[in-house]
Amino acid sequence: MSREALQDFLRAIEHHQGLRRDAARCSDDIELLALAQRHGFDVIQRDLSDDAQESAITRWFETSRIQRSFQSPPSQSTPSQSTPSQSTPS
């Protein structure tokens, strides 16, 4: 539930200039968590840690060669695949 609260809090920061300004003034996680709680978001330290770790993993997969091996190759038809096979009379 609190991870959802973090996502809601981040959306609120994106959409409300005053909240965005207040968040920018936070000098550490404790102040940011206090700001979230003052505005009714049940965000805890672990949410921030989990989000940072998830973001790092996502960035790694976006730049990794491994990602390409999990994607299916684009299908391309070759002339031999696009023409029906014809049998020759014996």
Q: What is the pTM of this model?
A: 0.58
Asked whether residue 17 is domain-assigned, the answer is: yes
Asked whether residue 48 is domain-assigned, the answer is: yes
Asked whether residue 39 is domain-assigned, the answer is: yes
Q: Residue 46 contacts by C-beta under 8 Å, 6 or more apart in sequence?
A: 2
Question: Which pLDDT tens digits describe the chain residue by residue (90 residues)?
Answer: 467 888 899 999 999 999 999 999 999 999 999 999 999 999 999 988 888 888 888 888 788 776 555 656 666 555 555 555 555 555
Whole domain around residue 47: which residue ranges? 2-68
Asked whether residue 24 is domain-assigned, the answer is: yes
Domain total for the chain? 1
Asked whether residue 78 is domain-assigned, the answer is: no
Token duo for residue 15? 């959409």
Residue-level pLDDT at 49: 84
Asked whether residue 87 is domain-assigned, the answer is: no
